[in-house]
Structure 1
Amino acid sequence: MARPALSAVAELLKPITWFPPMWAFSCGVVASGQPITANWFLVFLGVLLAGPLVCATSQAVNDWFDRHVDAINEPNRPIPSGRIPGRWGLYIAIGWTALSLLVATQLGPWGFGAAVLGLILAWAYSAPPVRLKQNGWWGNAACGISYEGLAWVTGAAVMAGGAMPASHSLALALLYSLGAHGIMTLNDFKAIEGDKKMGVGSLPVRLGVDGAARTACLVMAVPQIIVIGMLVQWGAVWHATAIGALLVAQGVLMVWFMKDPVKRALFYSGFGVPLFVSGMMVSAFALRATGGVA
């Protein structure tokens, strides 16, 4: 069997998708209040695990089990196009899973446990018989928890020597996980045709294009409003103001996006999502500035 080119493997692992969990892990690191330079190797390993390993594994797993859907929606992807031949897609997914677990052993019980949970969610999202992505509500929730909340909590816990993060840090991680559910919905607008044919119940399929767009925007906005209120209560007024400004900018883009969700989802992902994740880091610095609050 011909081996795939390295360029095709890199495309399968989708480096562009690694940023959210790497960023969320970094937010947890900042929120922990621990000195970063003194723990630079832990930070490096955690970022490596969150993005190029666990997230990359999830991409390979998803592309393997979605190869029939991708043949309709995106036939030029590595597996349906034949650039990843035979069962190489599955072998890469399994190999990257093992490599992720190996690296995770260097991050202590919290890091290893988080990696195991993240990998379980990655396989459960795409692989039958569970295949969470068959239901857009459950599938997007699994992605949001894995990409944002789990990565944040892991970063905070690893920096604290395995101690449970403060309750306020956990609350922020949960809220941004909920918001990420809406971000995941944005990715589904490009795959409506194939999802319908293959019985994948994404939110655009279940709720219709307009209903899914409104839901995605609402799910992204409400957690941020709650975060703003929490930061004000904690005395981090300037941080709350900054997140409010970011949310206003998102609101302008949301109004524009909802006028033509299918055509504008990609643009919104490129410009609106960075505003959302910028607020995550602002909230992490708010916790650091207030000593973690609790």
Structure 2
Amino acid sequence: MASIMVAENKGYLRRKILAWIDIIRVGNCIALGYATIVGYILGGSKVFDQAMLFKLFIAAFVIGGSSNIINDYFDASIDAINKPWRPIPMGLIKANEAYFVSLIMGFIGIILSFTITYMNGIVALIAFALAYLYSFKLKKVLLVGNLIVAFSAALSIIYGGFASTNIVIDTVLATLFAFLLNFGRELLKGIEDVEGDKKYYIRTLAAVKGIKVAYVSSLIVFIILMLLSIIPYVFIGYSMYYLIMTLCGVDLVIIVALTIASSLQPKDALRSTRMLKVAVFVGITAFFVEGLKKYFIV
């Protein structure tokens, strides 16, 4: 009997840990931390300050985790329809637990950010406030919610740039590309979540104007992004490495994702948005490689 209870406790603990990893969205938080490091390198610091890089990564990670948790907290009813496997609807994490952990993580991220620079602290405060406003209210405002998510994701690059005390054209371009890529992805996510969004009056483009309008809008955003993606190579002198990574790892992935989503089916939109995470990672890495070449190798 005792061995059965021990096994059950171990099983519960494992499910609990996996639930927290899921609700925090560890992969997304790692991507945010990585983006801040890229922003720092693009800023042109000549010396790798390892302590600075560590603080940047951890601060972005915990603020991102806080934002993801509070989003699940406010979305529990919607997720019960769209994504019943999420930790709160499944009962693996209590709503009040999620809310408390979100506050703690956000507080840690803001305090840590102010130890980097004053501007990093301000950016962290803005990101934290936007996450709460978005989750609580603004996601129900047509397009505003999508814009906030895209802006918050792109903000991580600027955040890293402030730590280097040097915001350059490279930082601005990387931020713009990250914004457009995430904005287009958010429009497709509206197709993925359309049924639950309609029921709970979440005014995404797909829920208000229809799935086809949301798809065409995302298509336009991605076309603009793909056209802009060659600017650093043609006009700023970025290397062939950047061009190859962008064309093959970003633009090609976008084309495949849009082709899949063209069925206008929520399940295919889900596949597309997951695929676009690859484009986000490769796009950030293209700027990372270029930053290393421009400021540290040459």
Match of residue 42 from structure 2: 31
1:46 paired to 2:56: yes
Match of residue 151 from structure 2: 145
1:259 paired to 2:263: yes
1:1-294 equivalent positions in 2, closer than 5 A: 5-35=16-46, 38-51=48-61, 53-85=62-94, 87-127=96-136, 131-148=137-154, 150-158=155-163, 160=164, 163-236=165-238, 238=240, 239-246=242-249, 247-287=251-291, 289-290=293-294
Q: Return the alpha-carbon distance in structure 2 between the equivalents of residues 33 and 176 of structure 1.
A: 19
Q: Structure 1 residues 67 and 276 mapped into 2: Cα distance closer, same or farther (>3 Å)?
A: closer
Query: What is the deviation of 1:291?
Result: 5.4
Q: Return the alpha-carbon distance in structure 2 between the equivalents of residues 87 and 289 of structure 1.
A: 47
Q: Return the alpha-carbon distance in structure 1 between the equivalents of residues 144 and 38 of structure 2.
A: 25
Q: Output the TM-score relative to the length of structure 2.
A: 0.83
Question: What are the ranges of 5 or more consecutive residues in structure 1 without an aligned counterpart?
Answer: none
Q: Output the TM-score relative to the length of structure 1.
A: 0.84
Preserved contact between residue 35 and residue 157 of structure 2 (Cα < 8 Å) = yes
CA deviations on 1:146-186 (whole Å, 9 max, x unpaired) are 112x111111221x2xx240134223312321221112233
Q: Return the alpha-carbon distance in structure 1 between the equivalents of residues 96 and 252 of structure 2.
A: 47
Identity %: 20
Larger Rg: 2
Q: Structure 1 residues 198 and 105 mapped into 2: Cα distance closer, same or farther (>3 Å)?
A: same
Structure 1 residue runs of 4+, over 6 Å off?
none
Q: Return the alpha-carbon distance in structure 1 between the equivalents of residues 170 and 76 of structure 2.
A: 41
Q: Return the alpha-carbon distance in structure 2 between the equivalents of residues 138 and 12 of structure 1.
A: 23
AA aligned to 1:25 is: T
Q: Structure 1 residues 93 and 273 mapped into 2: Cα distance closer, same or farther (>3 Å)?
A: closer
Query: What is the deviation of 1:271?
Result: 2.8
Q: Secondary structure at the match of 1:80?
A: helix
Question: What are the ranges of 5 or more consecutive residues in structure 2 without an aligned counterpart?
Answer: 1-14
